Structure 1
Amino acid sequence: MLQAERRHNILKQLQTSGTVYIEQLATQYNVSTMTVRRDLAALEEEGKLIRSHGGAVLPESLTQEVPYQTKLSSYTAEKEQIAKKAVELIPDQARILLDSGTTNLEIAKLLKSRDDLLIVTNDAKISIELLHSDCKVISTGGELQKDVGAFIGTHVQELLRQIKVDIVFIGANAVHLTEGISTPTLEKSYIKKLMLKNASSKWIVADHSKFNKRSFAHVCDFDEVNGIITDDQIDAHTKEQLHQVTNVY
């Protein structure tokens, strides 16, 4: 296969899957990994992809912040499925930290009928959902992120530094097999890092649409969490690769 044809096919494959991997491309096209690296470097110079550790992604694949109402109506059944799996991991009398996001909102809906939990959250909608719960609920307060519903700012950070919880559920904007978990802003990344630091058990909650994507600010790698809770729509190849680096529930 000619170089130009191979690079054209790599781009087509990238546009279909969103991510390509050097080792797989080398095997697929029967060339050396160095040849693939040169292909990816040339395509990056043309602005057609962004090289990442072990492969490449499309330039437009960096995920951005999504308004709350848009997220609320997206992948609802999948988020409900994730929530049911998540609550199975919560022991009696647990201290829980629920990160902002609509997947964790579904977890809150399942927890509000209990009376034995302490729940901390930086999400306005989750706080309201738990308004009449018999659980003890602590809202971080802080600056309310417009159209998103998350509390951010130094007030949130200071509170998170002072607490220890049994389990945290971290929402993920993007999950990438080689680059870990990421989020659109440095501030939200820092808040999620604080949440992870101060929890004994750490879980990422993400529906299948978040996989094979990257966002601006790195949150953590897979070896920093107990595992990922996702839905049954995740493709078999991605799930198999995930099992090699973390627990998948």
Structure 2
Amino acid sequence: MNSSKNPKMLAAERQRYILEAIQKTGSVSVAQICEHCGVSSVTARTDLDAMEREGQLKRTHGGAVPVTQLVIPAVPQRVHKNACAKQAIGRKAAELVEDGETIIVGSGSTTLAFLHCLGEKRGITIITNDINGLIYTERFLPQAIPACTGGILGREYRHFAGPMVASSLSDIYLDKVFLGADAFEPDFGFLAEFERTATTKVEFMRHARKAIVLMDASKVGAARSFVRFAAPTDVDMVIMDKDPGGVVAGAIAGTGGGGRVVLA
């Protein structure tokens, strides 16, 4: 981070700096914000208060620290689970993104955690069907270009699905797609909870050379019925916090598809 003052820094740039400072050092103070951004303590505190309301951080006396859980406003409670694992996966996945690249990012809490780790990237374009991801990109990644697919908006999970997703991507082909998964069965593959979500993920994979799945260890073994969007042989990489018993790596290796598991 550059410690020099920047009196022309916009609110979105200040808030991105705050998130970066917390991620790198574990905290940020009002004095740091004033020094780096060239603003008054009133403005710094206003930024921190607004970010706390949105679940981006936790306010402390004289500054802020990370939230202990991944908090996303207006989405189901399940996104709060395994927040530390999702953040570690997101950081590892961010290493695969190059400046100037265009990527597709699917919906979900783990892929949103991935977006939180892209603040250092420059000139990237992020195509997504996820409303929360689109809003985060627009507000906190000023160096990125947000792009949204078409589709029917599912209000409960706030992402687009349906035939218009395919039509909006008809002329697009790029290097990488990053997808979440609701479950994994070694003999079957990667699963989504709903058919419309699975169909969208399949469509995304058609438009990228490399399919990268972001999935924490709790998703190994499906306790409920899900819909497959990819067999083990269909993906190029799975980024996980841990692979219980090497189940995922074993399933991928057994298919001879050339994919691999990377631990965050």
Partner of 2:116: 109
Partner of 1:229: 239
User: Does the 8 Å CA contact 1:242/1:248 hold for their aligned counterparts?
Assistant: no
* Secondary structure class of the residue paired with 1:191: helix
Equivalent position amino acid for 1:247 in 2: R
The correspondence of residues 1-249 of structure 1 with structure 2, limited to 5 A, is 68-132=75-139, 133-213=142-222, 215-232=225-242, 234-239=243-248, 241-242=250-251, 244-245=253-254, 246-249=259-262
Report the CA distance shift for 1:189/1:202 in structure 2 as closer, same or farther (over 3 A): same
Mapped to 2, the partners of 1:152 and 1:200 lie a distance apart of: 21
Greater radius of gyration (CA): 1
CA RMSD of aligned residues (A): 1.9
Report the CA distance shift for 1:219/1:243 in structure 2 as closer, same or farther (over 3 A): closer
Report the CA distance shift for 1:100/1:240 in structure 2 as closer, same or farther (over 3 A): closer
Report the CA distance shift for 1:239/1:219 in structure 2 as closer, same or farther (over 3 A): closer
Equivalent position amino acid for 1:199 in 2: A
Mapped to 2, the partners of 1:84 and 1:247 lie a distance apart of: 18
The farther-off stretch of 129-138 and 154-163 is 154-163
Runs of 4 or more, structure 1, over 3 Å off, are none
The farther-off stretch of 202-211 and 214-223 is 214-223
Equivalent position amino acid for 1:230 in 2: M
The farther-off stretch of 117-126 and 69-78 is 69-78
* Secondary structure class of the residue paired with 1:162: coil
User: Does the 8 Å CA contact 2:187/2:251 hold for their aligned counterparts?
Assistant: no
Structure 1: runs of 5 or more not aligned: 1-66
* TM-fit CA distance, 1:71: 2.6
* TM-fit CA distance, 1:113: 4.5
Report the CA distance shift for 1:172/1:239 in structure 2 as closer, same or farther (over 3 A): closer
Mapped to 2, the partners of 1:171 and 1:243 lie a distance apart of: 17
* TM-fit CA distance, 1:243: 5.7
Equivalent position amino acid for 1:221 in 2: A
Identity fraction in percent: 25
Report the CA distance shift for 1:216/1:69 in structure 2 as closer, same or farther (over 3 A): closer
Question: Deviation per CA, 1:123-175, whole angstroms, max 9, x where unpaired?
Answer: 00000101132211101143221221111122222112331121101111111
Mapped to 1, the partners of 2:169 and 2:197 lie a distance apart of: 13
Output the TM-score relative to the length of structure 1. Answer: 0.68
Mapped to 2, the partners of 1:199 and 1:81 lie a distance apart of: 24
* TM-fit CA distance, 1:87: 0.8
* TM-fit CA distance, 1:89: 1.3
Question: Deviation per CA, 1:194-227, whole angstroms, max 9, x where unpaired?
Answer: 1111101111111111112264322111211112
Equivalent position amino acid for 2:194 in 1: T
* Secondary structure class of the residue paired with 1:161: coil
User: Does the 8 Å CA contact 2:98/2:121 hold for their aligned counterparts?
Assistant: no
The farther-off stretch of 237-246 and 218-227 is 237-246
Report the CA distance shift for 1:227/1:185 in structure 2 as closer, same or farther (over 3 A): same
Report the CA distance shift for 1:164/1:239 in structure 2 as closer, same or farther (over 3 A): closer
Higher relative contact order (CA 8 A, sep 6+): 1
Mapped to 2, the partners of 1:194 and 1:239 lie a distance apart of: 23
